[in-house]
Amino acid sequence: MSTVHTRLALLGDVGRVAPLFDAYRQFYAQPADLARATQFLHDRLSRRESLILLATLDDGAVAGFCQLYPTFCSIEAAPIYTLSDLFVSPSARRLGVGRVLLRAAERLAADRGVVRLELTTAHTNQTAQALYESLGWCRDEVYRTYTLAVRSQAGTAIA
């Protein structure tokens, strides 16, 4: 069985992560667009707007990633991370990659003084929900999440 290794992705890793990020977006019903996925990740890392944990196997193959966005909780007056994206390559599923990535995100947050990790997932993504709950993540029963699509003056959604 292959060991899962994790590390923070560097700008030079964008080309390795982008195909998985593109597949992640497709999972959420977005059209395939590797160029857009690559540019988005490049922008996030070059501007230091996100942290990407990269999971690889013994042979160096990229097995998965998770992307964390640093932000703050006003109520706790402390930093938090939003775990926005978690994806495991179909060929690496059932190897514990998602679990390893989530534990790595937890360690990274603790090492950096972050008080909480937050994430959202589709109501239908029961596989991911079971994983999160097995690792101690709690479904929020207090707050509701709302979203608003912002429209430009021309009337089209701003992405």
- Asked, for residue 158, whether it belongs to a domain, the answer is no
| Contact between 3 and 58 (Cβ < 8 Å) | yes
Token readout for 34 is 């590797």
pLDDT digits (tens, 9 = 90+) for 110-141: 999 999 999 999 899 999 999 999 999 999 99
pLDDT band at 158 (very low <50, low <70, confident <90, very high): low
Residue 97 structural domain: 5-134
Q: What is the CATH number of the domain that holds 48?
A: 3.40.630.30
Residue 65 lies in a domain: yes
Would residue 89 count as lying in a domain? yes
**Residue 114, in any domain of the structure:** yes
45 lies in some domain: yes
Residue whose C-alpha is closest to residue 137's, from 113, 120, 114: 120
Structural domain count, the chain:
1
